[in-house]
Structure 1
Amino acid sequence: MAEGQRAERAGPARLLRQSEHSRQASFLELFFDLAFIVAFTLLSARMVGDLSWFNLGQTLILLAAVWWVWVATAWSTDWYDPNQPLIRGLVLGVMFVGLVQAAAIPQAYGQHGLVFAGAYALIHLGRAALLLPALRGHPIQQRSRLVAVWFGLSAIPWVVGAVLTGAARQILWLVAILLDYVIASLGWPVPWLGRLRPAQLRVVGEHLSERYQQIFIVALGEIILVTGLTYAREGMGLVRTVALAVVFVNAGLMLWMYFVPVSRRLGGAIERNQPRGAVYAAYFHALMIAGAVLTAVGGELMIVNPLGDAPASWSMAVLGGAVLFLAGRSLMGLLVYAHPIWRTSTALGLLLASSPGLVRLPPLVVGLVTAAALLSVVLVYVFLPGRQSRAARQRRQDREARPEQEGQDREDQEPG
């Protein structure tokens, strides 16, 4: 039987991630994430120069496309063995083309539109071009085939939009990215070719949750990078130092709120909600990543003009970063615990309710308010821990008495 298993894995099955493979992210996946520092930084720089609603909408489409490149690659390394030469080459190829795509961001709606759209289409269709022949004869080839069909369809508005100008490009690209996002939640069904079974869309929750953690840290790193460079450029006065400290505190509070306690349970939530749990986690992280990018924008503007007269859009950027993060964090908590999380939801509601008055204040004052809102959530977690059932507490005590027992209590409410 062992020889039969080795023979089976010598074919297309050798590319698949096996149950005995490590669930930790590989060094190649960590290296891959570095390319997104460039993309996030250029996206924030694109917004700093123009905070109009039209430009924000355009930038959101670009961010959604960049994020979907990361998501599709993270799923690929979850479904396939990243130690296989073909998969390594695929990841490195996506990383390089992704760098080209990122470099096109400043002029994506200008002279480099075809570069951005072409890179996006090349990444997704190139992945299929490599995997389909390699998986020939294996049932899992159907998964790559159906996914490739939909990416091929969305490539049409991407490329056509790239050769058009003005609002037509934005509309077609919006249609294309919405198609990619929505069809993923449906499992990429194709008429006459069938749809994928839930088992074919299963992911390794522990591995994928770790990948989400790593890219979120990269996004927070972009906040530190942008604000640090701005602080060095604008001068190290007292007020600007306070502004830098406020941005740093906001980033640190986002980090704490992400990792404690929801992120450590995300893997189990993805496993319980297969196959759509991974898709929903991608959607919710898109909001938090957008919040981090907008926080970098607001942080740069806060350091440039902390207390002086500034457009309301500057303060709105500072506020918007926290709002988007809290929205994504609340939804991720809902995915993990299957009920609304009042801590983050309350802070989000208060910021939204007070936003008409806040945007009239200087950026630094708004930054202090958002820091206070995030800090209040953290303090509530620390001093008002969530209630747990008697059975849940007993199981927790049993685990502490038997540390070798793995797993965690799915009935626990959100801890403090």
Structure 2
Amino acid sequence: MSSRPGALLRRREEPLRASFLELFFDLAFVLALRQLSLVPQVGVSVAQTALAALLLVALWSVWAVTAWFADWFDRANPWVQAVLVGATLGMLLMSVAVPDATGGRAWLFAGAYVAIHVGRGVVTAVALRGHSLRRRTLRILTWYGATGILWLVGAAWPAVRVPVWVAALALDYTAPRIGWPTPGLGRAEPGELRLRGGHLTERYQQVFIIALGELIITAGVTYSSTDLAAAPSVAFLLVFAVAVLSGLLYVTPAGRDLGAALDERDPSRFGTITSYLHLVMIAGVLATSVAADLVLTHPTEGGHTAAVTLTVAGPALFLAGRVALSAVIFRRLSWPRLLGLPALVLIALAGHALPLLGVAAATVALLLVVLVLERRLARTGPRPRTGR
């Protein structure tokens, strides 16, 4: 390991574009999303949906913190590259454990999660000996070490597994927002958490495209297993339309202004909020992926509460996250998206009298209306207001 503590830190001239190993790490997240989309399909129920949500929150923690790590440190440094490769392996192991993560594969899921977070902290703490930013790493390592105990306790004790893991995740998600306060080390200052808006914006766009890709793959695989009749063919086109409209709604207009806002605002607040909102949007796309399988296999059936709810809930979650993202960037609400939420509720209420194909068509029509209105407003809309 380099004798210079600062050798691990990112260089000013380092390009903002994602590195090869960051994209390689994203491939493991593809498997994670694919595995998660299969969990509710075992039996569409509140319990299965809640389980998928719990696992997604844990997997997103690994993705988001790894993205921050790659933003803070020199991605050409061999030790940084080793951490990224290790995180990729850990994400793959967590993905493998997903189908039985709260059962027989709990140790694999929890062990990989803890190893990623603690291992990253140990490497950077050793490499930053004598550097002022080592205190930041030690704070983060202390928090993940403490919550890691909870993860392992949950893995060892099935009776309390889920509530203990929920508590551990609550701490893991709260810590960045409050600066990882640690006895003897204090809490991180905004300057220690400074992020590069251009890099993080690209990473968020890439992971959102990955989520849309999982939706398209699910639709394609399911459609290929049908008889390619008219009803499933229309359903496939509708699912494709949802993917396209979701992508266009994501980048217009706040997507283009996210980088500037990340550069200008307090990362301990704004950086964590934008990460959480991307989690909500990706959860929406994942729910849409699960619904796509149902719409494609039962397009003319109706009256199924779970299927109708999932078909509408996915776009609703995405829009809710997207409304909130616009609000924190521009400090105002996006009224077309905001009006889209109650409209989706109405579609869900009326959906019980419609076949799933009709529910999907109504959802696509609504997303199209929201996109058209949003683009009209974007031509004269305000730029994000700066300031802390």
Q: Scaled by the length of structure 2, what TM-score is found?
A: 0.95
Alignment equivalent of 1:18, drawn from 11, 14, 32: 11
Is 1:208 the equivalent of 2:200? Answer: yes
Alignment partners' CA distance in 1, 2:183 and 2:351: 50
Percent of pairs with identical residues: 36
CA RMSD of aligned residues (A): 1.7
- The answer on whether the counterparts of 1:316 and 1:359 sit within 8 Å (CA) in structure 2 is no
Alignment partners' CA distance in 2, 1:51 and 1:164: 26
Is 1:57 the equivalent of 2:47? Answer: no
Alignment partners' CA distance in 1, 2:378 and 2:263: 25
Q: Deviations over 1:161-191 (max 9, x none)?
A: 112225x211111111111111111111113
Shift of 1:363: 2.0
Alignment equivalent of 1:293, drawn from 268, 272, 286: 286
Is 1:159 the equivalent of 2:147? Answer: no
- The answer on whether the counterparts of 1:45 and 1:297 sit within 8 Å (CA) in structure 2 is yes
Alignment partners' CA distance in 2, 1:411 and 1:132: 37
Alignment partners' CA distance in 2, 1:387 and 1:55: 44
Shift of 1:411: 5.3
Instruction: Tell me the amino acid that sits aligned with residue 207 of structure 1.
Output: H
Residue ranges of structure 2 left out of the alignment (5+ in a row): none
- The answer on whether the counterparts of 2:347 and 2:359 sit within 8 Å (CA) in structure 1 is no
Shift of 1:100: 0.7
Alignment equivalent of 1:170, drawn from 149, 162, 176: 162
- The answer on whether the counterparts of 1:205 and 1:271 sit within 8 Å (CA) in structure 2 is yes
- The answer on whether the counterparts of 2:8 and 2:73 sit within 8 Å (CA) in structure 1 is yes
Shift of 1:311: 2.5
Matching residue of 2:67: 74
Instruction: Tell me the amino acid that sits aligned with residue 165 of structure 2.
Output: W
Query: What secondary structure sits across from 1:234 in the alignment?
Result: coil
Q: Deviations over 1:317-367 (max 9, x none)?
A: 111110110011111111211111111111012213443333553322111
Instruction: Tell me the amino acid that sits aligned with residue 214 of structure 1.
Output: Q
Q: Which deviates more from structure 2 when the two are superposed, residues 52-61 or residues 309-318? A: 309-318
Alignment partners' CA distance in 1, 2:287 and 2:273: 21
Alignment partners' CA distance in 1, 2:53 and 2:326: 23
Shift of 1:19: 2.0
Alignment partners' CA distance in 1, 2:284 and 2:352: 17
Matching residue of 1:395: none
| Residues 87/314 of structure 1: CA separation in 2 closer, same or farther (3 Å cut) | same
Shift of 1:45: 0.4
Q: Which deviates more from structure 2 when the two are superposed, residues 103-112 or residues 269-278? A: 269-278
Matching residue of 1:108: 101
Alignment equivalent of 2:342, drawn from 342, 349, 359: 349
Largest Rg, 1 or 2: 1
| Residues 22/359 of structure 1: CA separation in 2 closer, same or farther (3 Å cut) | farther
Alignment equivalent of 2:228, drawn from 236, 239, 247: 236
Alignment partners' CA distance in 2, 1:131 and 1:387: 46
Instruction: Tell me the amino acid that sits aligned with residue 275 of structure 2.
Output: A
Matching residue of 1:4: none
- The answer on whether the counterparts of 1:206 and 1:267 sit within 8 Å (CA) in structure 2 is yes
Alignment partners' CA distance in 1, 2:65 and 2:18: 15
Alignment equivalent of 2:264, drawn from 267, 272, 292: 272
| Residues 231/148 of structure 1: CA separation in 2 closer, same or farther (3 Å cut) | same
Shift of 1:132: 0.9
Alignment partners' CA distance in 1, 2:358 and 2:125: 55
Alignment partners' CA distance in 1, 2:178 and 2:82: 29
- The answer on whether the counterparts of 1:271 and 1:277 sit within 8 Å (CA) in structure 2 is no
Count of paired positions: 384
Alignment equivalent of 1:224, drawn from 216, 223, 230: 216
Is 1:370 the equivalent of 2:363? Answer: yes
Alignment equivalent of 1:127, drawn from 96, 120, 123: 120
Q: Scaled by the length of structure 1, what TM-score is found?
A: 0.89
Instruction: Tell me the amino acid that sits aligned with residue 154 of structure 1.
Output: T
Matching residue of 2:314: 321
Q: Which deviates more from structure 2 when the two are superposed, residues 14-23 or residues 129-138? A: 14-23
- The answer on whether the counterparts of 2:198 and 2:259 sit within 8 Å (CA) in structure 1 is yes
Is 1:199 the equivalent of 2:191? Answer: yes
- The answer on whether the counterparts of 2:133 and 2:192 sit within 8 Å (CA) in structure 1 is yes
